[in-house]
Amino acid sequence: MKVVIVILWIFCSLLFLFQAGCEQSHIVSEPATTTTFAPAKVHILPLTEFTHVSDAEEQQKIKIYISMLDSFGSQIKTPGIFRLELYEYVQRSAEPKGKRVAIWPDIDLTEPAANNKYWMNFLRAYEFNYPFEPKGDKSYMLQVTCLRPDGRRLYAEFTLKNVK
């Protein structure tokens, strides 16, 4: 009689476990978000340089090429407000940014027309041209800050050397 009770108890326990496992889940999965395609990093392209003008009437410029990268490292076009600053480069220092020598007005690229004006589709990057006269063969540190519409700030730094 004890054996029958033990077998019946094991059978009921297993039946209960199998029934509990067959129940449908009521957890609703979250839809995939597009945050992975949002800008995650600012990258200053190595094409960034000082342009040397041979004509004395024209002012020398700095050409700045900026690409925005998503979390996969792909270059993307995105709205944002860009701030560009140029500092003297301090060699052999823990903080290579020295005195600020130039800050240009913020560029608001949140509107499609303004965004398209600076976008270079073949480079998948933004191009900015600013007048700047480098002094001698000095090096400079360029800092780019992008304020995203969601309030996050992304920034990058790039060292430029004036080569004549």
In a domain? residue 147:
yes
Residue type at position 7: I
**DSSP H/E element including 56:** none
In a domain? residue 111:
yes
| Local confidence pLDDT in tens for the 164 residues of the chain | 777 777 877 877 766 666 655 555 444 444 545 567 889 999 999 999 988 766 655 678 899 999 999 999 999 999 999 999 999 999 888 888 999 999 999 999 999 999 999 999 999 999 999 988 888 788 999 999 999 998 999 999 999 988 76
In a domain? residue 135:
yes
Domain that holds residue 50: 41-161
In a domain? residue 25:
no
**DSSP H/E element including 99:** strand 97-103
Reduced to 3 states, what is the DSSP secondary structure of residue 84? strand
Q: Around Cβ 82, how many Cβ atoms within 10 Å?
A: 20
Which DSSP letter does residue 136 get? Answer: T
CATH number of residue 119's parent domain: 2.60.40.1930
In a domain? residue 16:
no
- Residue 28 phi/psi, 5° resolution? -95, 125
In a domain? residue 157:
yes
In a domain? residue 27:
no
Contact 164, 157 (CB under 8 A): no
Which DSSP letter does residue 133 get? Answer: -
How many structural domains are present in the chain? Answer: 1
In a domain? residue 9:
no
The model's pTM is 0.74
